[in-house]
A and B are shown apart, each in its own frame.
Chain A
Amino acid sequence: MDTSFIERFLIVLTLYNLLVTAAISLYGIVARPSITKKIISLTILGDSLNVLAILIGFRVFSVPPVLLKLDANPDELLNLAYSAVDPLPQALVLTAIVIGLAVNLFLIFLALQVYRLYGTLDSRKIKELRG
């Protein structure tokens, strides 16, 4: 096996690691009874999908998408364009992480309210109770 094949294998392995992480956390959301566990799984699902989006913009032997000097000539600009990773997924994920945190905090408040009203966070027991 040549080196480029191993390199591509490692990248694709990372890709599948993230996909399977997302799958396991989906299992956690759907199959685990505790609402707290569902919220933990939801945060992991969001994290893995965000990293997946950034992995799509990644390139081997690249630099971060930041210009290091302000008096760059056109050649250096083109050099950055050819060597840097894709900035668009990073910009989208940046806002997604902060908003994901705000939404998950709202879910935590809802879970607290559920505990106040029903006295349990087990979704099977909540189903049996009548609100």
Chain B
Amino acid sequence: MDVTLILLALFSTVGLVFTYLAVVEKDLVKAVIFSAIQSTAYVAVLYLLRAPDIVLVYLPVAVGLYPAAILFLIGKTEKVEEK
């Protein structure tokens, strides 16, 4: 039994849960943080899938640059999603 597969299923489930939380969250700053946690789970998934190239490009892009750019956008516009 390969422990890789258990971790793979686990981390992809973490990504799924935090995607849902990010999509339903009203506070946009919290939504960005949930999205960053989902990205961190995906970094683990990509590492387990034996894709070191993608880990190297995905880690700065999805954990660093995306949240930074969206936080810049939120800082200049609205902080809360109205219902």
B22: chain A residues at CB < 8 Å are: 28, 40-41, 44
Closest B residue to A64 using CB positions: B50
List residues of B (12-60) whose CB comes within 8 Å of A's CBs: 12-13, 15-16, 19-20, 22-23, 28, 31-32, 35, 38-39, 42, 45-46, 49-54, 57-58
What is the chain A residue whose CB lies nearest that of B31?
A40
Chain B residues closer than 8 Å to A25, beta-carbon distance: 19, 23
Chain B residues with CB under 8 Å of A94's CB are 53-54, 57
Question: What residues of chain A lie closer than 8 Å to B69, measured between beta carbons?
Answer: 104-105, 108
Contact of A85 among B32, B38, B51 (CB under 8 A): B51
- Contacting pair B49 A54 (CB below 8 A): yes
Residues of A within 8 A of B46 (CB): 51, 54
Q: Does B15 lie within 8 Å of A34, measured CB to CB? A: no
B21 to chain A minimum Cβ distance, whole angstroms, is 10
